[in-house]
Amino acid sequence: MVQAPPSEFLDVAGVRTHLRQRGSGDPLLLLHGAGGSGVWSPYQESLSQRFRLIVPDHPGFGESERPDWLETMDDLVYHYLDLLELLGIPRVRIAGSSLGGWLAAEIAVAHPEVVERLALIDPAGLKVPGMFLPDIFSMTEEEQTRILFFDQALAEQQIPPAPTSDAVLQRIKNLTTVARVAWNPYLYNPRLQRRLRRVKAPTLLIWGREDRLIPIENARLWLDGIPHARLVPIDRCGHVPHRERPDELLRALVDFMTEGA
């Protein structure tokens, strides 16, 4: 078990923001999904050996404050532009999972010059016409966990038998922020698809082939929209490769992020 880097709290334009950092070299910003940034994992530790890894909690998630004005994905984009300025990072590699992938893409669309390389891991953000993604808001915690994994035995291990009140409150806090930005339209921005042409950074899509929450069929929309994108599917993997296939994910991600470096 690796020791997590110490918590840092930054005042980002008035928003108390929690983050952890470790490593040196090119900065890599890791944007978490709807479930939050989780505990510091061997996957994150490995990334920190190659990059200056920055793992924030989005506003309204984990230990970061939720400002009242936070209502849309757009608000998160500006928060991250502020955060990068505060850290003195003019250009950054970004890897985002699920909701964090959507956010990463929005940043790359709004300010393409800020993004060096972009990795989107099972990203939310687009909609295949007519396809409604499963509704996480109507699911029990157990169902929410199960749908993330291909390997149900692994899912089983992730279901806490009796979560603490704090854990329940934390989960509700995260979900509430997800609802705030993504209840309806559900997990996508109808304007994003036609804006994807603005992404300048080389882009890698990484997708669990067995993702049941955001099926890999969605990858086609991203590949069509982003000028320099390619797809690496991960076999026998659901929506959260960093939890189900961390080694494959790590390999794909490190290869891509160090290309041309």
Partner 1 sequence: MEFHLFHLMPWPYLPDDFERHNPSAWVTYSNANYDPVKGHELYNRYLDELEYAEELGFDGVCVNEHHQTAYGQMPAPNIIAATLARRTKRITIAILGNAIPLRDHPLRVAEEVAMLDVITGGRIISGFVRGIGAEYFAFGVNPVDSRDRFLEACDLILRAWTEPGPFTYDGKYYQLRYVNVWPRPIQKPHPRIFVPSTGSVETIEWASQNRYPFIRVYEVAAVVKQLFEEYRAAAQRWGYEAGPELLGWMVPIYVAETEQAARAEAERHVMYLFQKLQHRPLSYLSPPGYTGEASLARAIERMGRRKEMPYRSFDEMQDQGMIIFGSPETVRQRLEAFQKEMRFGILVPLLQFGSLPHDLTVKNMELFAREVMPHLRPLGQPAAAAVHA
**Amino acid type, 225:** G
- Residues 193 and 124: beta-carbon distance below 8 Å: no
Q: Rounded to the nearest 5°, which phi and psi values hold at 190? A: -60, -20
In three-state secondary structure terms, 14 is: coil
Cβ count within 10 A of residue 167:
12
CB of 176 to partner 1, least distance (A): 4
CB of 141 to partner 1, least distance (A): 8
Question: Which lies closer to partner 1 via its Cβ, residue 16 or residue 251?
Answer: 16
Q: Which residues bind partner 1 (CB under 8 A)?
A: 135, 137-140, 142, 162-163, 165, 168-169, 172, 175-176, 178-180, 183-184
CA dist 99 to 5, 31, 95, 246, Å?
A: 24, 8, 11, 18
* CA torsion through residues 41, 44, 50, 55, sign: negative
CB of 62 to partner 1, least distance (A): 15
CB of 180 to partner 1, least distance (A): 5
Question: Which lies closer to partner 1 via its Cβ, residue 3 or residue 140?
Answer: 140
Question: Which lies closer to partner 1 via its Cβ, residue 135 or residue 255?
Answer: 135
CB of 71 to partner 1, least distance (A): 8
Helix (H) or strand (E) holding 72: none
What is the C-alpha to C-alpha distance for residues 48 and 159, in angstroms, rounded to an integer? 28
Question: Which lies closer to partner 1 via its Cβ, residue 109 or residue 175?
Answer: 175
Question: Which lies closer to partner 1 via its Cβ, residue 86 or residue 167?
Answer: 167
Cis amide bond preceding 185, omega within 30: yes
